[in-house]
A and B are shown apart, each in its own frame.
Chain A
Amino acid sequence: MGTISKIHEMLTSKQCSCTELTKSYLDEIEKSNGELNAYVNVTDGEALKTAEAVDKKIASGEEIGLLEGVPMTLKDNLSTKGIETTCCSKILTGYKPIYNATVWDILQSQNAVMLGKTNMDEFAMGSSCETSYFGGAANPFNTNHVSGGSSGGVASAVGANIAAYGLGSDTGGSIRQPASFCGIVGLKPTYGAVSRYGLIAYASSLDQIGPITKSVEDASIVFDAISKYDEKDSTSKGYSGDTYSSLNNDIKGMKIGIAREYLDGVRDDVKQAVLNAAEVYKSLGAEIVYFDLPALKFALPVYYIIACAEASSNLGRYDGIRYGYKTEHYNGTHDMICRTRSEGFGEEVKRRILLGTYVLSAGYYDAYYKKAQNLRGTIVKAFNDAFEHCDVILAPTVPMTAFEKGRAVSDPIETYLTDICTVPVNIAGLPGVSVPCGFNANGMPIGMQLIGKSFGEATILNAAYKYQQAAGENFKDTKWGVKL
């Protein structure tokens, strides 16, 4: 598997040059992206330039960092200076940021080789990647199935070995869900652990950037690199310490909680896979505790109200004046703005803007937005109480496996239900990692989720790493991409 440490070892031992490695990734993208549609913008020029710099460094005998020269990708809602950043929306076509997202500043300073920007649901609103203006990304396990969303392009690329890792963003499951669908690892960090500066906002109080990787170890490496305090983000705290050094800690006696509500309405094969994982944990000496988390019942509507309210405000700025798409024909400024927005946004985005506007508007604010904020407090407290009884919570990531293309578009509410297991973590600002835990009868991957206390990344990654070691057969490679 093309993991970070494997690539690092290859580069330092000079098994291949960074340029050769980068070229092989670029070649594979060229070959497979037509079918996968993971990348929306391949930045081969920049990638090769960085690779060359890394090769020079290696040649001169300088030591290189773990992430140095490792080919990776960024979701297309992370601002990259001079490189088109569209959120896969028509309204941002042609937009080239004049500044870098903080996470990209960090990785660029470590000579990360960015192969390109990856596909996503438009403005991260969707669960299948199919609301993308560029069409959805395919699942590397079966290209008739969706990659999941919204960070579907990153998951598709990493699952298909056309990127070693990638950064996505997770507002209601957008890292964990596609990672689960594509049989890889996705970490949604604690709110405030990673700077949001430069992440094009969907819902500011829920958004968080995190890694999508081939292994738990890689997720830990990337998380440790990007979880720095950033003075540009008022909600940033950074992560003190690291997660890598405790990955291999013994988990004997660790209390792993299962909330019954998380298993409600979950498909049998998924449920069984999660329960099997619990057995693995038992065999590793962990203790399984069952409890109830009734507050979860309201998590989904709370999530949609808050997310859409914030989105309606965050997306007000796309007016055709400062950047992005502008309509051709109009009559006056107001008309120009309305036409630009009506033509530039897709249906799902418009639906969420309208919903968000509705729940904030006079006469409805108290019944929806205020009530949802109130319930958010209840859900936060419910999780705090739950962590009195356990160290991590084990749950399915998604109630199902990757569905076939075209099914998500038909019914918005049914699609929203796919987020039922992922949104509570965003509401409570907690860390959650999705880890592959099996396959269904059709060979599609199933993911489980480990949820931790606030800033408990070290604990959930430790638990995830131990599981990966014990159940490595669930981390299956696909036929695609670069074989290392």
Chain B
Amino acid sequence: MSTPFYVSPQQAMADRAEYARKGIARGRSLVVLQYADGIVFVGENPSRALHKFSEIYDRIGFAAAGKYNEYENLRIGGVRYADLRGYTYDRDDVTARGLANVYAQTLGTIFSSAGEKPYEVELVVAEVGASPEGDQIYRLPHDGSIVDEHGSVAVGGNAEQISGFLDQRHRDGMSLAEALKLAVQALSSQSNGSDREIPADRLEVAVLDRTRPQQRKFKRIVGRQLARLLEADGAASTPTDAPSDEETDETGGTPGTGSPGTGTPGTSTPEAPE
């Protein structure tokens, strides 16, 4: 028997992180944005059956990029956790913070346990509040850390570039149609500067809508409603020429407010869309 090679802990962890990141990068990216009445999830997903977004509980939604079987597993675990908690205590006692914590512990344990392969997933757990200030968005990378996000967040392959794009353009108090269009622009912009068009039937869109009268705020937006929202109040701006429009908008109209970097929470009063 030969003795195994010594691998430094730093190296072992870096290798595992590299492995997980590569797996996540292979998947298509998705974005989660706050808008005036809630939180919208937008992603490119050619499949009608395998969802990237899903309802966890009344006010809590889930989004995931990476390996399907692994995030599906976590999603079902989350639904079971939330339902059990709501059943034992009360529906109000199920919170995104609690769920994000459990996910972080789970991902963290799997990531650092030598016997298990790290999960190639990046999750977003979002909870819609009674007002925009009450909205919570948590991003959970593969290694078990939690990032408290505000305004907009992107995960998946092209995440860094997309979140940069969103940070510059996302405002508080956008309408659903505006937020949706911004999300589609962000998803269709590519690293080489060129844009490709994502047809509406390849988009997966869901919202946590605080104005929904039902207890369960999660809703998928499909078919005609999606088409109507994509067309709304900007028939002229196709995804290809829209970025330039947005830039002129920003320099001309809303100086100062358009910089909700991930560090600065968007607590300023929502301004009316122009």
A, B bound: no
- What is the interface of chain B, defined by CB distance below 8 A to chain A? none
